[in-house]
């Protein structure tokens, strides 16, 4: 029978530790559940507003004008009154303010009357979009006005004509305005498409045919009919329900990363749960010993403490769910600018249920080892204040294995990626294990040291005070600080490399969509002969007769094989390329090894890894509807910076030089000349787009900073776990600390002495945490900068110093605040209490 | 069945302190009959408390046997010992050892509740009445004086009407007036419940009331005295 009164009395007598335990449980759920709930809300909103998100019922997307068969069916739908249809062209081009001699790469959206079928394009004037956007007029994003120093009523040169700015777009249904883009938005009426004359052979144009179906029940049937005649690979037909949205994809990728942080917080909070529970149960040791001396059996005690833990765990879980909901309310502010507006926050009961299950499992897993210690509390403890050490037996190791498996399972479930899940958890455990080993070694060394300074010596001893959770504190704080430091250091390194000092030898301007016939004129404008990279746009359809599964490919988090590739031709290696397999690019090619109609191709190792492509494999590409067979004859790798142009598939010049192509060039050019170039190109070669890498990187940097601040926000919760363990540890050792303080005072020490001892103690803990976190984060960040981003590493000594000082300040403040009542303790009060006992 | 209720056969016990082994009891043998009042006397550190903890099954000897009611309890597991501690013995400690989170009444009820006694509360209240503490029944241990705590502890030891009561220096933490009250109370209740009593003390006053005195010195029995002369 369960004695509830005993359980409540026990909770009441250890209420501070119980509160810390509850907070650790709620903390463990906070990130994962709040993100889960928020993601659910966004998904629901997106699903609810899916028509708005795509502005239509059916969307046909292609990079070429739609095939005749497809157009015939669309026209039939229109004539039969089944549907309305509009064509939207999207592409990049230069916009030029002729009056100010300023040019800007912009994202043009040329729309027919009727766009959008769902949702609205909100204009600054508040007027109706369809009435405002007429031939000869354009509607622009505020950024266009700012950067071109233009006003409403000014005329901008776009392609071969000049158009008048009539309004500013505030939001459009199918793209958040502040989402990353190479250039700000300009809306153009379809009537002006011919006049601007920017659609050239091989240009990168998105053709979007949007259909509004009058009978909603027919959406899927009509979409199926369109899919059946669409050219495979080239023309993609989707309904608002099946379409992938870029926003959704970005959001899910970002949540994927935040979920990693959530799992990290869960692990550290788990350590917190365990530390708090060890302390809570240690406080109960005396009671347990008395109970046993009065005849209570292990089962009775285990049952009651299990019920107690379950009660506290439930409170913690419910509190965690409540905090998660509160936190979600703040998310729209936190995620401002990277998520679609008007996300309605809903309570997802499946997420709440998942949270409850997760809370129960976490409490169960992390409580098992502390609960096992109950067995070792013997009644004789009331005579001798010692507990037999636990021997690490099979159930002990089984529990640790189960915990690791749980985390791997959780990571795989959350990330929906087995390989990443396992690597992530193993990496995480590696980090925790590393900090645990270093901490253990440092503490062992300190235990043997006896500093001369009395206060410091007492502080050293204090670290090993029974019940002090020194090791848990250092491990959790070091690991969480290491992650926060790393994110900051990497972000700063990326900023300093690309923003403050963009590598001088690298190209800073990319020129796209140069027509082969414009090469000479382009060189003349540039005043030099740049390196030209021909681009033939194609899709990969099969590898060794194995068709590319486009749906599966699009699920990949990194690059995927379903997208359109830029093929190129040349007979030489670039400066930053090296052959890894094959004798050289194509030089030793044995024509006999190629089948009829097959072309040799050199493949970059990165894409080869994605598609498991090997030398000798047969790749089939689709170039504007024409199949192209290619046999892999060499593999290449890149040896230098990633901001240089690179190509996955390289063909010999003679094989592709006559294919439909555009030309791309990347040059290093000073800013003043670049502005001049932009203006001249806008005037003479208006179809050529210029990407100013400097400006683009500035935009990217702002986004990186925003994302990094969100990540740091979530990582903060793992630091709280560490701080909770500090508070728990101070509470747990309160009696011992009071005794020390009283003895010091009886022997003539002042309050200052006691304060100094406690300060040193916290300082030592803080220093170990900060230094460990500093070293781990620098090594980790260096590796990331060196091998992933390929940028020079700057150790940021000032920032590192500030981070170390902040850690010290934080730990000392929290540690001393929890000890205030101890410092104020009068010796006589303690002695009187002690005497009575 | 023999008349011996409790028997210690050559029991020894050592503790390790800072890598040093200290022998606290060495080769102790003892027979206690039903209803006897046995006082274990000795100086501080002579091993009195250790002997009581071994005889009561709260601790385990390194060697030798403890037999209660013809049953060897030496090698019983913790769970096998639990009912023995609950029903067969009662223990009064020098430092009271009341559960700090429970009230006086709840502390007394606790062993009876463990024994699933439906009259736990009535018995506990009856005992509290008997020791004149009924008005303090809802007080927590820290709200009671030393003498009150010990009276509660005695009630708790007796609530299941155990065969044997062990009392380890029950007056050691009390002033003489309170000590006398406690001692009288203990003896009265023992007599009322016909319980065997083993008392560890260094007080001559208590020894005067014993049927038998066992004198311990340096972990060994120095002498037995069957009846203390008046």
Is the CB of A753 inside 8 Å of chain B's CB atoms?
Answer: no
CB contact under 8 A, B82 and A380: no
- Nearest CA distance, B107 vs chain A (angstrom): 10
Cβ–Cβ contact A743 with B under 8 A:
no
| DSSP string covering B164-202 | EEEEESTTTTS-HHHHHHHHHHHHHHHHHHT-EEEEEE-
Q: How far is B62 from chain A (nearest CA, A)?
A: 14
| CB nearest to B111's CB, from A9, A295, A837 | A295
A485 pLDDT band, cuts 50/70/90, is: confident
Q: Flag whether pLDDT at A177 surpasses 50.
A: no
Q: Is the pLDDT of residue B229 over 70?
A: no
Q: Per residue, what are the HEC states of A746-794?
A: HCCCCHHHHHHHHHHHHHHHHHHHHHHHHHHHHHHHHHHHHHHHCCCCC
pLDDT-derived band at A591 (thresholds 50, 70, 90) equals low
Which chain A residues contact residue B98 at CB under 8 A?
Answer: 290
pLDDT band at A502 (very low <50, low <70, confident <90, very high): low
Q: Tell me the per-residue pLDDT of B203-221, one tens digit each, with 9 for 90 and over.
A: 777 777 788 999 998 889 8
Question: Is the predicted pLDDT of residue A295 greater than 70, yes or no?
Answer: yes
Distance (Å) from the alpha carbon of A282 to chain B's nearest alpha carbon: 14
Residues B62, A662: Cα–Cα separation, whole Å: 92
| Class of domain B34-62+69-225 as given by CATH | alpha beta
The SS3 call for residue A341 is coil
For residue A380, list chain B residues with Cβ-Cβ distance below 8 A: 53, 58-59
- Pair A580, A611: CB distance under 8 Å: no
Interface of B with A (CB under 8 A): 15, 49-50, 53, 58-59, 78-79, 82-87, 91, 93, 95, 97-102, 106, 110-111, 113-116, 146, 156
Among B79, B95, B146, beta carbon nearest to A297: B79
- Distances, alpha carbon A486 to alpha carbons A231, A269, A703, in Å: 47, 20, 18
Minimal Cβ distance to A837: which of B78, B95, B116 = B95
The minimal CB distance from B114 to the residues A295, A836, A837 is found for: A295
Each residue's pLDDT tens digit, A229-277: 888 777 888 888 777 666 666 666 677 777 777 887 787 788 778 878 8
Q: What is the pLDDT of residue A188?
A: 94
Lookup: tokens for A140: 């622009």
- Residue A331 has, within 13 A of its CA and on its CB side, a CA count of 31
> Residues A518-574: pLDDT tens digits?
888 989 888 888 888 898 888 888 999 888 887 777 766 567 888 888 899 988 888
- Average pLDDT in the A25-44 region? 80
How far CA A576 is from CA of A640, B180, B196, in Å, comes to 5, 97, 95
Query: Which pLDDT belongs to residue B230?
Result: 46
- Contact between A290 and B98 using a beta-carbon 8 Å cutoff: yes
Min distance A837 CA to chain B CA atoms (Å): 6
- Tokens 């010692």 label which residue? A386
Q: Where are the domains of chain B?
A: 34-62+69-225
Question: What gap in Å lies between CA A607 and CA A605, rounded to an integer?
Answer: 6
Task: Kindly report, residue by residue over A6-20, the tens digit of the pLDDT.
Answer: 888 888 888 888 898
pLDDT digits (tens, 9 = 90+) for A681-704: 877 887 787 877 777 777 777 777
**DSSP per-residue string spanning A541-600:** EEETTEE--HHHHHT-SS--TTSEEEEEE-SS--TTEEEEESSSSSTT--GGGS-TTEEE
Is the Cβ–Cβ distance between A410 and A263 less than 8 Å?
Answer: yes
Interface test with A, best of B85, B148, B169, B178 (most A CBs within 10 A): B85
pLDDT at B55: 92
Which member of B59, B82, B102 has the closest CB to residue A295? B82
Q: How far apart are CA A574 and CA A590, in angstroms?
A: 23
From the CA atom positions of chain A, what is the Rg in Å? 33
Closest to A675 measured CA to CA, from A525, A540, A812, A795: A525
pLDDT score of A64: 83
Select the more confidently predicted residue: A406 or A506: A406
Q: How confident is the model at residue A110 (pLDDT cuts 50, 70, 90)?
A: very high
**Chain B partners of A286 at a C-beta cutoff of 8 Å?**
97, 100
Condensed to tens digits (0 to 9), the pLDDT of residues A396-418 reads 888 888 988 888 888 888 777 78
* N residues, chain A: 837
Best CA proximity match to A686, nearest among A158, A193, A203: A158
Q: Which of A3, A296, A382 sits opposite B97 (nearest CB)?
A: A382
A380 touches B: beta carbon within 8 Å: yes
Chain A residues in contact with B167 by the CB 8 A cut-off are none
pLDDT tens-digit map of B115-174? 888 999 999 999 999 888 999 999 988 888 888 998 899 999 989 989 999 998 888 877
Of all residues in chain B, the one with the smallest CA distance to A299 is B79
Handedness of CA A382, A385, A391, A394 (dihedral sign): positive
Angle between helices A454-463 and A734-746 (to 10 degrees): 160
CB of A418 less than 8 A from some CB of B:
no
DSSP E strand stretches across A180-301: 185-189, 206-213, 236-239
Structure confidence at residue A460 as a pLDDT band (50, 70, 90): confident
pLDDT at A90 over 50: yes
* Backbone φ and ψ of A252, nearest 5°: -70, -35
Q: How far is it between the farthest Cα atoms of chain A? A: 102
Rounded-to-integer distance, Cα A654 and Cα A599, Å: 10
């Amino acid at each position: 029978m369960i004695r509830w009164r005993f359980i409540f009395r026990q909770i009441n007598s250890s209420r501070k530790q119980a509160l810390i335990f509850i907070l650790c449980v709620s903390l463990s759920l906070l990130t994962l559940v709040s993100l889960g709930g928020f993601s659910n809300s966004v998904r629901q909103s997106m699903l609810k507003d899916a028509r708005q998100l795509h502005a239509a019922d059916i969307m046909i997307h292609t990079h070429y004008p739609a095939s005749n068969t497809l157009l015939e069916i669309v026209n039939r739908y229109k004539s039969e009154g089944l549907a309305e249809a509009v064509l939207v062209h999207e592409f990049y081009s230069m916009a030029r303010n002729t009056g100010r001699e300023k040019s800007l790469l912009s994202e043009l959206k040329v729309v027919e009357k009727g766009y959008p079928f769902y949702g609205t394009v909100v204009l600054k004037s508040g007027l109706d979009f369809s009435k405002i956007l007429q031939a000869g007029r354009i509607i622009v994003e505020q950024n266009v006005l700012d950067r071109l120093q233009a006003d409403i009523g000014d005329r901008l040169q776009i392609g071969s004509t000049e158009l008048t700015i009539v309004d500013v777009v505030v939001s459009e249904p199918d793209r958040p305005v502040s989402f990353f883009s190479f250039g700000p938005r300009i809306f153009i009426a379809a009537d002006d498409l011919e006049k601007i004359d920017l659609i050239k052979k091989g240009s990168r144009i998105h053709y979007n045919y949007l259909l509004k179906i009058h009978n909603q029940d027919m959406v899927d049937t009509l979409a199926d009919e369109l899919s059946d005649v669409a050219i495979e690979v080239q023309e993609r037909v989707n309904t608002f329900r099946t379409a992938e949205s870029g926003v959704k994809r970005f959001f899910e990728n970002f949540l994927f990363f935040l979920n990693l942080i959530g799992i990290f917080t869960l692990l550290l909070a788990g350590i917190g749960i365990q530390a708090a529970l060890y302390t809570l149960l240690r406080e109960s040791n005396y009671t347990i010993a008395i109970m046993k001396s009065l005849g209570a059996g292990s089962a009775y005690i285990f049952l009651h403490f299990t019920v107690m833990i379950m009660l506290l765990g439930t409170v913690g879980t419910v509190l965690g769910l409540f905090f998660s909901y509160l936190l979600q309310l703040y998310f729209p502010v936190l995620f401002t600018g990277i998520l679609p507006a008007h996300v309605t926050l809903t309570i997802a009961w499946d997420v709440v249920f998942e949270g409850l299950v997760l809370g129960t499992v976490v409490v169960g897993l992390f409580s098992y080892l502390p609960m096992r210690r109950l067995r070792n509390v013997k009644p004789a403890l009331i005579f001798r204040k010692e507990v037999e050490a636990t021997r690490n037996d099979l159930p002990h190791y089984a529990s640790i294995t189960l915990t690791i498996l749980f985390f791997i399972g959780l990571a795989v479930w959350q990330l929906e990626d087995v390989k990443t899940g396992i690597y992530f958890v193993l990496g995480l455990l590696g980090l925790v294990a590393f900090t645990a080993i270093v901490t253990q070694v440092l503490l062992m060394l300190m235990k043997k040291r006896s500093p001369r300074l009395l206060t410091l010596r007492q502080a050293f001893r204090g670290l090993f005070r029974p019940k002090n959770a020194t090791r848990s504190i250092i491990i959790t704080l070091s690991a969480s600080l290491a992650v926060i430091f790393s994110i900051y250091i990497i972000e700063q390194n990326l900023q300093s490399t690309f923003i403050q000092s963009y590598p001088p030898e690298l190209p800073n301007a990319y020129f796209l969509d140069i027509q082969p016939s414009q090469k000479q004129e382009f060189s003349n404008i540039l005043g030099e002969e740049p390196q030209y990279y021909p681009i033939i746009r194609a899709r990969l359809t099969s590898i060794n007769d194995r068709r590319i599964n486009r749906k599966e490919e699009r699920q990949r988090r990194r690059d995927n094989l379903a997208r359109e590739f830029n093929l190129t031709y040349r007979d030489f290696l670039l400066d930053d390329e090296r052959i890894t397999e094959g004798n050289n690019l194509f030089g030793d090619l044995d024509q006999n090894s190629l089948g009829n109609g097959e072309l040799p191709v050199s493949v970059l190792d990165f894409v080869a890894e994605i598609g498991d492509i090997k030398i000798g494999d047969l790749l089939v590409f689709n170039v504007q509807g024409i199949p192209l067979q290619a046999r892999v004859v060499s593999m290449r790798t890149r040896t230098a910076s990633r901001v240089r142009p690179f190509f996955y598939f390289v063909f010999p010049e003679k094989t592709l030089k006559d294919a439909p192509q555009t030309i791309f060039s990347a040059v290093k050019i000073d800013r003043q000349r670049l502005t001049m170039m932009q203006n001249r190109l806008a005037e003479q070669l208006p179809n050529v787009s210029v990407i100013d890498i400097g400006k683009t990187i500035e935009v990217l940097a702002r986004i990186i900073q925003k994302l990094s601040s969100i990540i740091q926000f979530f990582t903060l919760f793992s630091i709280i776990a560490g701080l909770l363990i500090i508070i728990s540890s101070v509470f747990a050792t309160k009696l011992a600390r009071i005794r020390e303080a009283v003895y010091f005072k009886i022997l003539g020490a002042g309050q200052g002495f006691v304060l100094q001892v406690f300060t040193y103690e916290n300082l030592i803990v803080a220093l170990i945490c900060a230094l460990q976190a500093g070293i781990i984060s620098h090594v980790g960040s260096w590796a990331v900068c060196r091998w992933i981003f390929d940028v020079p590493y700057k150790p940021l000594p000032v920032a590192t110093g500030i981070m170390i000082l902040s850690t010290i300040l934080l730990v000392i403040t929290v540690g001393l605040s929890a000890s205030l009542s101890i410092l104020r303790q009068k010796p006589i009060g303690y002695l009187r209490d002690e005497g009575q006992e | 069945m023999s008349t011996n209720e409790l028997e210690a056969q050559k029991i020894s016990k050592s503790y390790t302190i800072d890598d040093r082994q200290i022998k606290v009891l060495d080769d102790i043998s003892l027979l206690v009959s039903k209803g006897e009042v046995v006082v274990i006397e000795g100086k501080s550190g002579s091993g009195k408390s250790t002997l009581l903890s071994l005889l009561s099954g709260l601790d385990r000897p390194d060697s030798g046997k403890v037999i209660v009611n013809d049953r060897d309890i030496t090698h019983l597991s913790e769970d096998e010992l639990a009912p023995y501690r609950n029903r067969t013995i009662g223990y009064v400690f020098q430092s009271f050892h009341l559960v700090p989170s429970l009230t006086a009444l709840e502390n007394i009820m606790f062993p009876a509740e463990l024994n699933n006694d439906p009259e736990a509360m009535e018995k506990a209240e009856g005992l509290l009445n008997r020791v004149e503490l009924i008005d303090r029944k809802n007080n927590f241990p820290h709200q009671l004086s030393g003498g009150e705590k010990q009276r509660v502890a005695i009630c708790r030891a007796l609530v299941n009407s155990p065969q044997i009561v062990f009392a380890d220096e029950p007056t050691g933490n009390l002033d003489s007036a309170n000590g006398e009250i406690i001692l009288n109370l203990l003896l009265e209740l023992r007599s009322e419940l016909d319980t065997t009593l083993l008392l560890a003390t260094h007080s001559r006053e208590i020894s005067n009331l014993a049927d038998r005195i066992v004198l311990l010195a340096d972990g060994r029995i120095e002498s037995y005295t069957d009846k203390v002369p008046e």
